[in-house]
Structures are given as C-alpha cells and as structure tokens.
Amino acid sequence: ENAVAWNHSSTTEVTLLGFSHRPGLQVPLFLLFLMIYVMTMAANISIVVLVVADWHFHTPMYFFLGNLSCLEVCYSSTILSRLLASFFMGNRAISIRCCILQYYCFGSLTAAECCLLAVMSLDRYMAICRPLHYAALMTVRSYLHLAARSWISGFLSTIANTYWMSGMALCGPTDLDHFFRDFTPLLKLSCSDTSLMALVTLPVSALFTLTPFLLTHTSYMCIITAILRIPYSTGQHKAFSTCSSHLIVVTLYYGTIIFVYVLLDTDTLMPLNKLFSLFYTVITPFANPLIYNLRNHEVRETLRRAF
C-alpha cells in the first residue's frame, strides 16, 4: 500500500517509446509524418472552407462532410502534433496530466466520429431509400441537431474514464510502448484496481462503437438492396458512386479499430497493435478528404477555380 502511494505521488510523467527502437529512421519518419500532417491539415481545412463559403455545398451531405473534416483536423492535431514534437526535440517524456488530456481528446473525437459516420449513413439511406420524404425529414434544424449531438455525445462519452484515470496510481517502469496515450497501454502501467474502470469501459465502448457500426451496416444493407432495384442505365452507377466512398471510409475506420482493440489486445501482439493504430489515427484522417471529396468532380472543379 505504501509502495502504491509512493508511486502515485512521485510518478509525474511517462515516456512514450513510439518508434525509438529504430534510431536510424528518426529523421525519415519525422519527415514522413510531417508531410502527412501538413497534407491532412491542408485537405481537410480546404473542405471546411469550401463547404462554408460556397452555397452550392450547403446541403446535408456536404455539411456532414465538413463536420467530418473538422473532426479530422482535431484528431490529427491531437495525435500527430505530439508525435512530431517528440521526433524533433527527442524528448518522449510527457506529464501524467497531459497524458490524460490527450486520452480524453482522442477518446472523445473517436466516439464523435463513430456517431457522425452513423449519421452520414442515415443521411444517405434517407436520400436513396426515402427520396420523397428526404427534404421534409432532413431540414436545416434536423441536420444541425444531428451533428451537434454527435459532437456532444463524443465529448461526454469519456468523462467517466478520464475521471478514474486521473486518480490512477502508476507502478514500476513508466514506459509506454506506443506513439500516443491510448487506453489499454496506459492501463497496463497501473497498480490500482482497474476492474470498475474496465467494467464501465466495455458498455460505453459498445454504445459508441458497436451501435454506430450496426446502424451504419444496416443502413448500407438497405441502400445496396435499393440500388440493385434501380435499372443500371438510369442511376445505379451514380448511386453506387455516391455511397462507395463512404463505405470505403467506414470499412477502413471500423476494421482497424476492431482489429486493434479486439484481435491485437495482448502483450505479445502489442508491436502490431502500435503499427495498425497508425491506420485509424494517421492514415484515415489523411485519406478521408481524398476518398470522400477530392474524387468528387464538383468539389475538384470548385477547388481548381479557387486555387
């Protein structure tokens, strides 16, 4: 008990090992992640500006895409900015408070993105499967509320975990074999009783990941069924093109999250956990504007005229 108290009072920082096991790759990795970060910021901010400034894009679909780009900007800044700082300064130590703050931001943004992806699939379902009712159901007030609830739900989802984590005692070596403060690696450093935290985490995680995933999956099953009933020459191709980009993003995002947190959540597979975490924390925010928007002819033409 004394040892636990001593650790809790004296341990004020943890060390993120990141990719430090490859000293010769530090400069190339820094340049690679810097390039990805700059391109992610530029692409997502361009989409946000476009959606706000051009009245042609003042529709529910583009409004949600603009919100998704805002999320990706925050998401990338939460993860990549600290990773780049550790590469540049060589200091991988971070205070416990900053560690918990990054976890809260990361967890909240992840939950918000899951909710927003579900809302976007619902929007496409109504547009394709209920076109006659779409304008009446998806009013300005409706899509503003849906987007706001996604953000608010996300930032409320991790309050309990963050509160318990702030009182958690850390024991022994405080090295995290990861490049950001994720929940599972941080929990492994604790010598406190984390059973209650784990008990609460399971239903909350299911609510904010499994429920949106099932809603998205159900929406797309209905969409695919409806599309198959459309004669190809009169709109099937256009409907598939509209939804295929969303389906690619959803598959990439949820697929890597499930793979990391379900299949790779063991000590022996932790290096793979760290590697695949790059997909939904770094690659997805970079790929989303390319998959969703920049392959859209209307968006490309508007950006070309603007720049």
CB 249 within 8 Å of CB 288: yes
- Secondary element (H or E) of residue 15: strand 13-16
- Is residue 19 over pLDDT 80? no
CB 174 within 8 Å of CB 140: no
Higher pLDDT, 6 or 150: 150
- Is residue 12 over pLDDT 90? no
Higher pLDDT, 137 or 272: 137
Confidence bin at 225 (pLDDT 50/70/90) = confident
**Strand partners for 16:** 176
- The reported pLDDT for the residue numbered 276 is 78
pLDDT in tens, 119-164: 999 998 998 888 888 989 899 999 999 999 999 999 998 888 888 8
Confidence bin at 203 (pLDDT 50/70/90) = confident
Burial of 250 (0-12, 13-18, 19+ CB in 10 A): buried
- Secondary element (H or E) of residue 18: none
| Residue 196 domain boundaries | 2-306
Average pLDDT over residues 263-285: 74
How many independent structural domains does the chain possess?
Answer: 1
Of the ranges 67-76, 224-233, 239-248, 281-290, which is most confident?
A: 67-76
CB 255 within 8 Å of CB 156: no
- The reported pLDDT for the residue numbered 71 is 94
User: What is the largest distance, in Å, between two alpha-carbon atoms of the chain?
Assistant: 75
- Measured between alpha carbons, how far is 179 from 219 in angstroms, rounded to an integer? 35
- The reported pLDDT for the residue numbered 82 is 82
Of the ranges 9-18, 98-107, 221-230, 289-298, which is most confident?
A: 98-107
Average pLDDT over residues 77-102: 82
* CATH (domain of 75): 1.20.1070.10
CA atoms within 13 A on the CB side of 184: 17
Higher pLDDT, 257 or 109: 109
State the amino acid at position 13 in one-letter form.
E
- Is residue 9 over pLDDT 60? no
pLDDT in tens, 171-189: 756 777 777 767 766 777 7
- Which segment of 84-88, 127-131, 155-159, 273-277 scores lowest on mean pLDDT? 273-277
- The reported pLDDT for the residue numbered 63 is 94
- Is residue 37 over pLDDT 90? yes
> Measuring CA to CA, how many Å separate 94 from each of 17, 45, 101?
11, 29, 11
